[in-house]
Amino acid sequence: MAKWRPDLDELPTYLCRLGGALAPRIPARLGYALFGWLWSLAARYGPAFPAVWDNVAHVLGPDAPRERRRAVAEGIYRCQGRNYFDVFRLPALSDARIMELVTVRGLEHLDAALALGRGVIIVSAHLGSVETPAHALAARGYPILAVMEHLKPESLYRYMAELRGRRGIEVVPADGLLRSIFRALKANRIVGLVADRDTTESGVVAEFFGAPAWLPDGYAQLAARTGATLVPCFALRRPDDSYEVRVEPPVAPAPEPGPAVSYYMGQVLRVVERYISLYPEQWVMFQPVWKLGEVGF
């Protein structure tokens, strides 16, 4: 009789399902401490630390003391651990509880963009929690379509999409057909994308913190093609593990004549740079952004 052997490819799915089952039942203070501690171990032993170290060096600049770079890098891991606790915890909370935990500032900018009737592309970054703006806005009744990295294995993608879609958020894979995105924008809904990580290997080289970096341009391509309004938005973690979502003013339409895609990218990336500079320990980026040879360029 053959021995049963676990499918190691499915291990991430098993672990995430375990997190999804346990996180809503763990006191928040204990959960944040536990998940933060587990991820802090990865700062010492995980394979992604060289990429984090290089990213932090670009953000802080060449004159930043080594101690400061290490403190920021380790803070990034602790922040990401807390983020994962929220990934599993937030979908189980009521809309009322979400609105208690997440303060949203700048909703007038989002409402003004929606009033134009062309659809809105919320552009965020892996700063604080990339999940939280969608939950916060959906809890307030805004129609959201979130574009999500197509995780592997497929069972992991399906489970994470299920978690993210429990508040009525429509989730589509980043490498899927664009039909759903175009349909959402045409219906004057909100589409969420990120500006700091290319998950489909279709990005471009753009200036970021004064150096060439490999970044996605999908949000700029969509804005140029559809006329949708770009609105930068970020969810920042507070010391007590509540959040403040900041909605920035809409990006002005691209001037004519001129290259609209590069214009939109430049406008958005300058806002992203400003926020990352203010909160570098919350920029949870574990892939190399500036090492172009390592991202296929």
What is the three-class DSSP state of 251? coil
Residue 43 has a pLDDT of 83
> pLDDT tens-digit profile of 137-195?
999 999 999 999 999 999 999 999 999 888 899 999 999 889 999 999 999 999 999 99
CB count in 10 Å sphere of residue 291: 15
Instruction: Tell me: pLDDT of 75 over 60.
Output: yes
Q: With cut-offs at 50, 70 and 90, classify the pLDDT of residue 8.
A: confident
Residue 296 has a pLDDT of 42
Instruction: Tell me: pLDDT of 112 over 90.
Output: yes
Residue 294 has a pLDDT of 52
Could you tell me how far CA 190 lies from the centroid of its own chain? 15
Q: Rounded distance, CA 40 to CA 202, Å?
A: 32
Residues facing 211 on adjacent strands: 208
Q: Rounded distance, CA 217 to CA 98, Å?
A: 31
> pLDDT tens-digit profile of 48-67?
999 999 999 999 999 999 99
The pTM score is 0.92
